[in-house]
Chain A
Amino acid sequence: MEMRPIYLDYQATTPCDPRVLKEMLPYFTEEFGNPHSRSHAYGWRAEEAVEAARAQVAHLIHADPREVIFTSGATESNNLALKGVAHFYKDKKDHIVTCLTEHKCVLDSCRHLEQEGFKITYLPVSANGIIDLDQLKEALTDRTSLVSIMAVNNEIGVIQPLAEIGKICRARGVLFHTDAAQAVGKIPMDVESMNIDLLSLTAHKIYGPKGVGGLYVRRKPRVRLVSLIDGGGQERGMRSGTLSPPLCVGFGKACAIAGEEMAAESTRLEALRDRFYQMITEELEEVYVNGDFKQRIPGNLNISFAHVEGEGLLMGVKELALSSGSACTSASLEPSYVLRALGVEEEMAHTSLRIGFGRFTTQDEVEQAARNIIKEVKRLRDMSPLWEMSRQGIDIKSIQWAEH
């Protein structure tokens, strides 16, 4: 029988929790009304379910349900937040501040806005992956409409100082958007205390279904958006299209579970992560954790293994489902732009693995995975002349490679 690979890619996506599935299924079958049909009970029941789910989502981030709109996922939410705010406020303000390690959908939206004539400041990050608040303050101008800084990085798991960023933005009258797809359900998020004006989230990163996400849009003081998808005027005119009751219900349930279990789950994942890291560092030298070790979510490690060929390593641990970076960009062989932004050298960036732990990860799996990785890294290093040279104390960067 074929072994199921050990799943260690919880930042790419998470399996749907059986409790979520159970809650969703009736809405795929018996409760099939269109939630926007106001003329009959099928529609009302579907709408009720959608509204209950909206309340569950809102509760997790300390928002009012009326402030949450449903979208198809975090990519759409981020596009809507950035383009929507930029276009609405463009007459008075045409400047946006973001950072180099954002998810591709934020960076791509920004590039597109740049082509339209908006000015974008891409803040650098420190070696630990965290932005410098003084640089943020300096970047803000009277023309700045929006600061978009992700809550938790999808590759290296570091947590940005959201409350501080929110405070700075509020003081300057600049809107603060955060892509919290990797943060919600993993660390406490509070749009009030953190002064967040817009927040993107998605179901499939928190054990909910794929195909649904949300955008928090503050009502007081009110944040206005130009919509991306127009039509029937659903979601308070900010996002048209028929909502999917089963997907919304699943998202709501996923949020409810995440809220209840976050504290205990964090402790458990931290222990698993520490166990994994301990096993790796006991056996292997020249292993580097990318991103701040402390200020990160418990379910993520991003590790570079010096003098190992990255693709070879990935191929060598095929029984583990993990990746070298973001799923969206993982098909390309380019080193991660996130790691490059941290100042990680190209060779080192090539040898990194993103290891994600989650709700269904067991201690056995973690230990098995660590053993496999240790074995494979040792094997590759044994074959590597670079490793041998570095063992002999030769500084590899000093070598003048002959052109050929």
Chain B
Amino acid sequence: MTLTYFDYAASAPLKPCAREALVSTLNLVGNPSSPHTAGRHLRAIVDGARQDIMQALGGKQLVFTSGGTEANALALTGLGDIPVLVSAIEHASVLNATAHSSLIPVTEEGLVNLDHLRDALATAETPGLLSVMLVSNEVGVIQPLHEIVALARRYGWKVHTDATQALGHIPLSFEALGVDMMTISSHKCGGPVGIGALILNENIHLLPLIRGGGQEFGMRSGTLSAPLALGFAAAIRDGVREQPALGARLLAFQQKIETALPKARVFGTHAPRTSNIIGLAMPGVPADLQLMAFDLKGIAVSAGAACSSGKMKESHVLAAIYSQHFEEPGRRPSGEPDERGDLRDQGRIPMASLPPRKRGTPDPRLRGDKTRKARSIGIPPEDARCAIRVSMGWNTQAEDVDLFIQAWHDIFNKQTVNPLKEAS
């Protein structure tokens, strides 16, 4: 059975241009830090890729990392011990990057609550770093980064944005956004997995997270892979060039899916969103059941971010957006250590169970506080439990979309009329 892939937001297949770039250099010998000819040749490839990416996306400096997670960790810790504000729907790599970050809530559309942000910035004792993702990895809403940056500037704050999910799906320019730091990741935009980057403006210098030989301008030590850098740059060049056409194509697919599924609830429809991600609830059918049913039909979707999808717990993003009571004691991770996940839950207590926080106080999740009052109203919490993420990309075809729509109907019809399910 061929598989139909609707999980581009977790990892996109490698684009042919990136593959070609990667494969053409995999055989090269040498360490980009060595001064001999072989080394210098690789160094030129890495620096060429660096220039290419900055030419496509802007920025004054670029630090290659092992991926988006490391880039986020570097951005959030590299300015030293300063106040950090992050939005409640950030990726876990931002939420967990420092122990002293405070959360900015989001509106029910999933957008940063600007009033709260203004208050938080105004009441902070010293300026710090604000981190807001450009495009949500779970529902695809686009944050009003211009307004956010303007607010932050008024109070002298620096701004980082995780643009991992934006790259290739909306027009992206470091200068136009006006941020100080921007995270991008290769495998989310059709490049090879294993490399990412943090783009910086000219006056940022970060304390390294990984120390050693002093590569990457002293901000990130370690031997770089020229093939990965080259493949990454190729994917970005192609992604930027193709973005308008791809955006239009995927928008048609998105509209088709949403029109064809009147019984589905779609998240984030009242906010600007990208055309590649749909946060979709199938009323009455829990997400894990849907995932299995879709998988049996050969369709790959996910219930949220891949890194936490193994746990089958509710998304903190949807919780922050739609909130109310997510409590469902039977399904919360029980805390018994599993062989591979024993440390996994540290600092990852679902947000839905946290108490209200005074602005400016440290995030209680990081202290292990497990109760939190629910906030704001939106779609019923049942829907969030029934939410899956459908994400498309450069190689999604019209037939895939048809298969998905058909499968959705089949699963919905079967699950909602199943007498066994009623009995339970």
How far does the alpha carbon of A70 sit from the alpha carbon of B87 in the complex, in Å? 29
| Contact indicator per residue, chain A 74-89, by CB within 8 Å of chain B (1) or not (0) | 1110110000000000
Q: Is the CB of A328 within 8 A of B215?
A: yes
**B275 lies within 8 A of chain A by Cβ:** no
Q: Is the CB of A232 within 8 A of B300?
A: no
One of B35, B93, B227, B343 near A331 (C-beta < 8 A): B35
Q: How extensive is the interface on chain A, given as a class?
A: 35 or more
**A397 lies within 8 A of chain B by Cβ:** no
**B102 lies within 8 A of chain A by Cβ:** no
Binding-face segment, A100-108, A281-289, A384-392: A100-108
**B412 lies within 8 A of chain A by Cβ:** no
Q: Is the CB of A41 within 8 A of B69?
A: no
- Beyond A39-B302, A41-B300, is A104–B36 a contact (Cβ under 8 Å)? no
One of A16, A109, A244 near B192 (C-beta < 8 A): A244
SS of A interface (majority): loop
Q: Is the CB of A232 within 8 A of B295?
A: no
Q: Which residues of B contact A293 (CB under 8 A)?
A: none
Q: Is the CB of B38 within 8 A of A38?
A: no
How far does the alpha carbon of A25 sit from the alpha carbon of B23 in the complex, in Å? 8
How far does the alpha carbon of A228 sit from the alpha carbon of B221 in the complex, in Å? 14
Count of chain B residues with Cβ under 8 Å from any Cβ of A? 84
- Beyond A76-B222, A229-B209, A331-B33, is A209–B26 a contact (Cβ under 8 Å)? yes
Closest to B345 in A: A233
How far does the alpha carbon of A74 sit from the alpha carbon of B213 in the complex, in Å? 11
**B11 lies within 8 A of chain A by Cβ:** yes
Closest to A204 in B: B223
One of A13, A25, A328 near B221 (C-beta < 8 A): A328
Q: Is the CB of B222 within 8 A of A73?
A: yes
Q: Is the CB of B307 within 8 A of A242?
A: yes
Interface residue ranges of A204-244 to B (CB < 8 Å): 204, 209-212, 228-234, 236-238, 240-244
Q: Is the CB of A38 within 8 A of B309?
A: yes
**B211 lies within 8 A of chain A by Cβ:** yes
Q: Is the CB of B223 within 8 A of A210?
A: yes
Q: Is the CB of B7 within 8 A of A240?
A: no
Q: Is the CB of B295 within 8 A of A39?
A: yes
- Beyond A231-B69, A241-B93, A328-B212, is A40–B302 a contact (Cβ under 8 Å)? yes
- Beyond A229-B70, A241-B66, is A327–B3 a contact (Cβ under 8 Å)? no
Q: Which residues of A contact B213 (CB under 8 A)?
A: 75, 104-105, 326-329
User: Would you list 25 pairs from A and B whose C-beta atoms are within 8 A, ordered by A residue?
Assistant: A7-B38, A9-B30, A13-B34, A14-B29, A25-B23, A33-B300, A39-B291, A42-B7, A72-B222, A79-B210, A104-B212, A108-B221, A209-B26, A210-B226, A229-B69, A231-B91, A237-B346, A240-B69, A242-B67, A243-B193, A247-B194, A321-B34, A328-B213, A328-B215, A330-B34
Residues of A within 8 A of B (CB): 5, 7, 9, 12-16, 21, 25, 28-29, 32-34, 36-43, 66, 71-76, 78-79, 103-106, 108-109, 112, 202, 204, 209-212, 228-234, 236-238, 240-247, 314, 318, 320-323, 326-331
Other A-B pairs, 4, CB within 8 Å; known A106-B212, A244-B193? A34-B7, A37-B7, A39-B303, A66-B340
